[in-house]
Structure 1
Amino acid sequence: MYRQGLGDCFLISLPRTAGQEPYKIMIDCGVILGTSDAAVKMTKVVDHIAADTKGHVDILVVTHQHWDHVSGFLEADTAFDRLKFDHVWFAWTEDPDNELARRLRQEQSHAISQLRLGASAMRIAGNSDQADDIENLLGFFGVAGSTTEDAMKKAASKGKVRYCDPKDPPLELADPAVKIYVLGPPQDEKALHKTLASASTPETYGLAAYGLAESAADALGPCDDSAPFGAMNAIPYSSARALDFFEANYFGPGNDAPLWRQIETSWLDSSTELALALDSYTNNTSLVLAIEFPDGDVLLFVADAQVGNWLSWQQVSWDVQGRTVKAQDLVSRSIFYKVGHHGSSNATLKKLGIEAMDRLEFAMVPVDHDMAVKKRWGKLPFDAIVAALQTKGVTVLRSDQRPTSVGKDVTITDLYMEINL
């Protein structure tokens, strides 16, 4: 796990028979927008990967379209020239030939455009705090001229592209003898839009702090652009400004205008909810992988998958050499867990997550709490999740903290944390 800041970048080395280089899997490469010297930090990460892999990576996994997972493909572009990738894996949600994926991307693009307009209107209306909140969330999609779409295209140019689906059979490697399963995202629109735990059956270690919609479906659904009143019942704005009653009671003199009486910008109140829903929905499109070893041990990488993605695994299974392998069985046999979404409350399930991981030994949390506080996400990582892991006796490594003592299987430098399993 690299320590570039609030973002993900992992390198997995799977030993092969004597005399051969390990099988290398790289997962994501990014850091949150606003990180100081981001290009320098990401270049150091990629330079180290190039040296460690001798310039060759078997699979590059790009989990989802968020800046803190993909920015490095742009910021460390030159350093990537020293790396060769055989395969590049994306989730099916990035497949240009998938009809549902195309429609979902169009809805996402429309929502981003509307939110950028909404944030600008908020700032003009004097609501700078709410505008900051929306712009922080929009930062997950980059900035003009350097967007997540640009980064995804750059990553796709690195090797042979595969769009992964949970229905796919596992990739079975002969050397090393491992199987790689795709658990998510689901091809179920309802599941993709379920981003928060329900109040009646809370699946997570805490309900989301925002207390907004239970799912992203409502916020991201079709918009009603009609005016609140018909033309026969409305007074044109310019006419109202010319009438003494409205001037006295709604506009007021000078800078003392009672803006709370006006509804011209009230449509902006839903913008924060839409921004949160869009962010969470995109997290829910995360490509989730489980790497299974011959003895049954599993490494679980969930990226930023949220509630709907996790719950969908209950329906996923494969027929492998005459035996049925269930996704939830893979979760229960995990000895390593990449903690979802930097430790957020709605990205790690309780009963079907940590409590089910009977073999769990290590968990890694790519997080930068100080940066999260600056972005007004002060509960990253969520204390209850870290506590639940530690209660099970799991060694928890946070990228933003250097533990006072570690076992012989753990190596820590300023650039990365490494576990030898």
Structure 2
Amino acid sequence: MAKKKIATKLKVPGSDTAHRATIRMYRQGLGDCFLITIPRKKTNPLRILLDCGVILGTQNAVDKMTQVAKDIVKETGGHVDILVATHQHWDHLSGFIQASETFAKLKVGEVWVAWTEDPDDPLAKELRQERAEAITALRMSAATMTMAGDEEGASEVDNLLGFFGAAGGASTEDAMNAVMKMGKPRYCRATDDPVHLSDPDVRLYVLGPPHDAKQIRRTLPSTRDPETYGIAAHQLSENVVAALLPDDSSTPFSDLRAIPFAITRGMDFFRKHYWGPGEEAPEWRKIDTSWLGGASELALALDSATNNTSLVLAIEFPDGDVLLFVADAQVGNWLSWTDLSWDVEGRKVTGPDLLARTIFYKVGHHGSHNATLRAAGLELMKNLSLAAIPVDHEMAVKKRWANMPLPELVKALGSKAGNGVVRIDEAPDPPVRNVTATDLYFDFLI
């Protein structure tokens, strides 16, 4: 569907008391940024900002994120009650670096992050160390691939590393640190009691991430009985991490004795004894970078495991309706909600119960195949009214993610969401009820 520009003048969210909430989904590109406004009876509306970023490689990213940040400051009157930074990926946090001067004008009450950012949590420390080592190893492997002439392999790894920021530039860790200085931090756990606000009368539930390394590392659907839509991906090779660690001893020669692969084409010795007649040597004579064959798998695993540390938030209204924001949560995160339960004023609330009462769903990971479960996810959402996909398919194709969003999932969402599915890269045709838009954002009136 061709993109359409819309310039509809909207009412100020929160000024129309006929609506319980307004959810603003920004259209900055491939990334997440949501502003939730819930009217109060006595004071200014409650404002919750979830993430603010765009994928590395987006054209005019600084200008776009500055424009978004200016709108957030204007819309909120310069104050946000809760700022939620879901996980350390550039497409969720970049704006806090790219538009830092504008965000300096925003006052924040609390900053909610997952327990994975807690400096005193042992498992969080382990996961952060694991991520740092993997990023270092992958940057080295991508550089080695480039020198060896494997441009395609290097590009694939670099695209996934882009989720962690530009090499040599600002990182997602820098962005997360900037966010956590904006207000009082709260390290959220799924075992926390729901936060009950009296005005407005809503409850905030944290569903994930699970405090379990195995569940966090369970990112892909099973091959035999896939829990998601689409085809299960290949499993990660067991030796990939060991082969790419910075102190790896499995490489055939030390760095001091290694000659970049492409350079050997112009050296007489190698042209005579290695390359042989013609431009290509027999495959059996090459040892080059075959030991790096698992780099793309490791990059994918690192990306997915970080997605699985996503802070998942459910907002419950007094009548039981729920707004669900899952960030980029993947299989293990979703499955962990099955066992969650809370005692709330004499009633038992469970993870599946919150899904069953969900009326608005922020679709996970830009509509990817491994970020919306079927039986334990979408099929439970019996009351789903609206689904929002923050995706830019053209950019996804440039990044070689042609199935973002996954057509099978988009179709399932369309049959499930009573009022429709909205994605940031398309104008709904026909228009969706209670959804208005400008070129900068969609507003969902709940």
Query: Same fold per TM (> 0.5)?
Result: yes
- Checking the alignment, whether the CA contact within 8 Å between 2:137 and 2:244 is kept in structure 1 is no
Residue 356 of structure 2 corresponds to 332
Residue 438 of structure 2 corresponds to 413
Match of 1:153, SS? helix
TM-score by length of 2: 0.87
Match of 1:370, SS? helix
The reply on whether 1:44 has 2:67 as its aligned counterpart is yes
Distance 1:373 1:407, change over 3 A: closer
Residue 35 of structure 1 corresponds to 58
Distance 1:340 1:251, change over 3 A: same
> How far apart in 2 are the matches of 1:221 and 1:205?
31
Out of 79, 82, 85, the residue aligned to residue 59 of structure 1 is 82
> How far apart in 1 are the matches of 2:174 and 2:290?
34
Question: Deviation of residue 168 (structure 1)?
Answer: 0.7
The reply on whether 1:8 has 2:35 as its aligned counterpart is no
Moved more, 386-395 or 22-31: 386-395
CA shift digits 1:273-324 (9 cap, x unpaired): 0001001111011000110111110000000000010001111111222222
> How far apart in 2 are the matches of 1:369 and 1:128?
23
Q: Which amino acid aligns with 2:445?
A: N
Q: Which has the higher contact order (CA 8 A, sep 6+)?
A: 2
Out of 102, 110, 132, the residue aligned to residue 87 of structure 1 is 110
Q: Which amino acid aligns with 2:345?
A: Q
Residue 233 of structure 1 corresponds to none
Question: Deviation of residue 404 (structure 1)?
Answer: 2.3
Unaligned runs of 5+ in 1: 230-235
Out of 392, 401, 407, the residue aligned to residue 377 of structure 1 is 401
The reply on whether 1:399 has 2:421 as its aligned counterpart is no
> How far apart in 1 are the matches of 2:158 and 2:416?
38
Q: Which amino acid aligns with 2:122?
A: E
- Checking the alignment, whether the CA contact within 8 Å between 1:365 and 1:397 is kept in structure 2 is yes
Residue 119 of structure 1 corresponds to 142
Residue 212 of structure 1 corresponds to 234
> How far apart in 1 are the matches of 2:105 and 2:198?
27
Match of 2:132, SS? helix
- Checking the alignment, whether the CA contact within 8 Å between 2:307 and 2:328 is kept in structure 1 is yes
> How far apart in 1 are the matches of 2:328 and 2:50?
12
> How far apart in 2 are the matches of 1:384 and 1:330?
24
1:8-407 to 2 correspondence within 5 Å?
Answer: 8-17=32-41, 19-143=42-166, 144-208=168-232, 211-213=233-235, 219-220=240-241, 225-227=248-250, 250-252=274-276, 255-258=279-282, 261-394=285-418, 395-407=420-432
Match of 2:129, SS? helix
> How far apart in 2 are the matches of 1:268 and 1:188?
29
Question: Deviation of residue 253 (structure 1)?
Answer: 5.5
Match of 1:146, SS? coil
> How far apart in 1 are the matches of 2:284 and 2:99?
47
> How far apart in 2 are the matches of 1:325 and 1:217?
39
Count of residues in correspondence between the two structures: 407
Q: Which amino acid aligns with 2:29?
A: G
- Checking the alignment, whether the CA contact within 8 Å between 1:292 and 1:298 is kept in structure 2 is yes
Q: Which amino acid aligns with 1:400?
A: D
Distance 1:217 1:20, change over 3 A: farther
RMSD: 2.3
> How far apart in 1 are the matches of 2:209 and 2:238?
16
- Checking the alignment, whether the CA contact within 8 Å between 1:216 and 1:280 is kept in structure 2 is no
CA shift digits 1:74-107 (9 cap, x unpaired): 0000111221000001011111111111111111
Question: Deviation of residue 251 (structure 1)?
Answer: 4.4
Match of 2:329, SS? coil
Question: Deviation of residue 393 (structure 1)?
Answer: 4.4
TM-score by length of 1: 0.92
Q: Which amino acid aligns with 1:252?
A: G
> How far apart in 1 are the matches of 2:314 and 2:436?
23
Question: Deviation of residue 129 (structure 1)?
Answer: 0.7
> How far apart in 1 are the matches of 2:62 and 2:417?
37
Unaligned runs of 5+ in 2: 1-24, 265-269
> How far apart in 2 are the matches of 1:354 and 1:302?
12
Distance 1:188 1:78, change over 3 A: same
Distance 1:349 1:49, change over 3 A: same
> How far apart in 1 are the matches of 2:293 and 2:40?
56
Distance 1:220 1:300, change over 3 A: farther
